[in-house]
Amino acid sequence: MDLATIIGLVLAFGLVLSGIMVGSSLLVFADVPSALIVLGGTIGCTLVNYPLNKVLSVIGVIKKTVFTKAESPSEIIGRFMEYANRARREGILSLEPLLKEIDDDYLRKGLQLTVDGLEPATIESILDTEVSYLEQRHEAGAEIVGVMGAFAPAMGMIGTVIGLVQMLQTMSDPSTIGPAMAVALITTFYGAILANLVFLPMAGKLKDRSRDELLTRDLIKEGILAISKGENPRIIEEKLNSFLPPKQRQVTP
């Protein structure tokens, strides 16, 4: 679980709600028609802009901003040192029993190709293709969430215009102007909240997660290729450590 995302959401919404409650009741900001316009309009526009299957996949993408926990590069390097030393002592086929214990599909696939005896160039080509499509999927998910962040304020403005038109129809009764104006502005408030507290920050987090995962994939690919070439474990460790900042590098005694 990503604590930064949880803390950020709680802090952002908590401060906004606290600011509202200091000056008025939360019920003043509760308006069902405004919420329907903003939420329904945002989802509808997103469906027009993207195929249904891609929009539905956003649910799983958003979960990644909260629940995904990636293995640290240092742990991955430690695992590769075990694989490299074992392959050097007992041969590359000795890695086959370990495949069932690996949860990472990309790492398991790379080691399986190595155990199967494929040439390093072929392994690299297959892994590069895997990473290329992974990057496209990540970009698509972040893009959809970002587009929802752009649609939400626009739908809020549309709701405000609707409210203003309805307010102008009741100008004969001055007592209704204030409440009607408040309801008209609430839709803009809802759109701004969804865009700036939910969708746009999540799109940024997804892009950051994508960069981290691509770096991890590059590290894994480098380790697999080094093992497939039969390189010395010490050289493999030096290669993989180059992916890390100097303070995080670990050298096996």
Same domain, 22 and 143: no
Q: How confident is residue 112, by pLDDT bands cut at 50, 70 and 90? A: very high
* pLDDT for res 1: 60
* pLDDT for res 134: 85
* pLDDT for res 241: 87
Structure tokens at 87: 């392959």
Same domain, 21 and 98: no
Of the candidates 162, 152, 218, 161, the residue with the CA atom closest to the CA atom of residue 190: 152
**Separation between Cα atoms, residue 153 and residue 159, nearest integer Å:** 10
Scan for tokens 């307010």, then name that residue.
Answer: 167
Same domain, 103 and 217: yes
- How many independent structural domains does the chain possess? 2
Same domain, 103 and 228: yes
Answer yes or no: are the C-beta atoms of 42 and 152 closer than 8 Å. Answer: yes
Q: What are the tens digits of pLDDT across the range 131-182? A: 998 888 888 888 999 999 999 999 999 988 888 887 777 777 776 676 677 7
Same domain, 47 and 18: no
Domain that holds residue 91: 31-253
Residue type, 94: S
**Separation between Cα atoms, residue 203 and residue 77, nearest integer Å:** 29
**Between 105-115 and 120-168, two packed helices, what is the crossing angle to 10 degrees?**
160
Same domain, 36 and 22: no
Same domain, 26 and 46: no
Least confident of 40-49, 64-73, 140-149: 64-73
CB contact set of 37 (below 8 Å; sequence gap of 6+):
155, 156, 158, 159, 162, 187
Of all residues in the chain, the percent with pLDDT exceeding 90 is 30
